[in-house]
A = this chain, B = another copy of it.
Amino acid sequence: MYLSKLFIPLLKEIPSEAKIKSHQLMLRTGMIKQSSTGIYSWLPLGFKIMKKIEQIVREEQNKIGAQELLMPTIQSAEIWKESGRYDDYGEEMLRIKDRQGKEMLYGPTNEELITEIFRASVKSYKSLPQLLYHIQWKFRDELRPRFGVMRCKEFFMKDAYSFDVNDEEAKKSYNKMFFAYLNTFKRLGLTAIPMAADTGPIGGDLSHEFIILAETGESKIYSDKRIFDIDISKHSSEEKSIQDLRKKYDEFYAVTDDKYKKEDFEKKVKKENQLVTKGIEVGHIFYFGDKYSKPLKCSVDLKDGKKVNVKMGSYGVGVSRLVAAIIEAKFNNNIMRWPESVSPFDVAIIPSLKKNDKSNQEKAEKICSFLLKNKIDVLLDDTDEHLSAKFKKFDLIGIPYQIILGSKSSDDKFEFKEVNGKTESLSLEDIKNKLLNNRS
């Protein structure tokens, strides 16, 4: 792809309204554009990254047997009155009257609607367990939206729901999601720690927030720092292995602000292991039993003919927020480096182009078509800017690998640079193999 053809409106200055680095970077590299307070359009660069994150989230949900569906954004107020949350939810819920005066709302979450779908379809314990999820836009009418897509009004979120016949089975579903979340964040290049958390307006008695460390985070966290060393790759998706993994996490103290108790922290965590810092919430999972199935009368028949309310949990990942969270984690010293798994392109070709000498232009195009043929996604900077200006630009765009064609580039070896890493002189074949290996 030629940079000059792409719709990437780069900004020269740091926009003054942006207070944190992810918001600044997203505006400067034309990833997003605000359309009204707290509501953003995703321009091609940002959109491409968000879509890659979405796909990783989806694949990890599918791996644990969750099935994808899609609920609408606009819901009737009726089921929210059935559950009792219509009044509870407050002004953050965007309330709407349609042309016939019917009370509607823009879904901020979907416990009610999924329960209503489930109760209409499933009647027997034989159909359980079930894991259902969707990835859909949500709306929360924040009084003070801030930090770009980190705390905005319209946001893209994966929410999953589990349905089980009893508490014991439900905990297994909860653990499966716990496992899927750890794998998801790992594939996104993030170390996310599950921390015991309050359940808030979702309700229930068991809940974990998945937190990544970042100084700009809104959550204050208190943990035993050894929790960061747990190696999830040693665990498989088998029930026993997942259970063991949960136990490992439970061994270490790690809580958010709401759950923090000074005396517990001091007692359970040695001084040298205490970590008090800030973090960003990227996922939140809840187990709440029959909190929704009871008022909404969602039950199944058991083997012995008795009816039981299904036991439910819900599981959220903020897909659009993750774009910003990854930037907060990976944008340091004014250099961005996207993880390979979500980078908008696999590699950038950065040639020094002169009007009276077409040799670099031709080389760049040859390299480009060779890589494209090998299914490597390339961005070629075909503008006539100076190399130094191009480098500054690519420090922000954040593609993790660069092929640089300077004034004295040779014909068979090329300057291949890993962002924040070393620069080598490599043949095109070696570059190709390196890029393909990095991907897997």
A163 to chain B, nearest CB (A): 10
Given contacts A35-B113, A72-B154, contact A67 B106 (CB under 8 A): no
Task: Please determine whether A141 and B99 come into contact, CB atoms closer than 8 angstroms.
Answer: yes
**A33-76 interface code vs B (CB 8 A; 1 in, 0 out):** 10110011111100110100000000000000101111111111
A55 to chain B, nearest CB (A): 12
A280 to B226, CA, bound (A): 62
**Which of B104, B117, B137 lies in contact with A43, CB distance below 8 A?**
B117
| A139 part of interface (Cβ distance < 8 Å) | yes
Copies in the complex: 2
Task: Please determine whether A120 and B70 come into contact, CB atoms closer than 8 angstroms.
Answer: no
| A377 part of interface (Cβ distance < 8 Å) | no
**In chain A between 85 and 140, which residues have their CB closer than 8 angstroms to a CB of chain B?**
91-92, 94, 96, 98-99, 102, 104, 106, 113, 116-117, 120-122, 130, 132, 137, 139
Specify which chain B residues have a CB less than 8 angstroms from the CB of A68 in the assembled complex.
44, 47-48
Q: Please give me the residue from chain B that is nearest to A139 by CB atom.
A: B74
Given contacts A7-B130, A7-B132, A117-B33, contact A40 B96 (CB under 8 A): no
| A217 part of interface (Cβ distance < 8 Å) | no
User: What is the number of residues of chain A that contact chain B, defined by CB distance less than 8 Å?
Assistant: 52
| A143 part of interface (Cβ distance < 8 Å) | yes
| A30 part of interface (Cβ distance < 8 Å) | yes
Specify which chain B residues have a CB less than 8 angstroms from the CB of A65 in the assembled complex.
5
A153 to chain B, nearest CB (A): 7
Which A residues are within 8 Å of any B CB, using their own CB?
5-7, 9, 30, 33, 35-36, 39-44, 47-48, 50, 65, 67-76, 78, 91-92, 94, 96, 98-99, 102, 104, 106, 113, 116-117, 120-122, 130, 132, 137, 139, 141, 143, 153-154
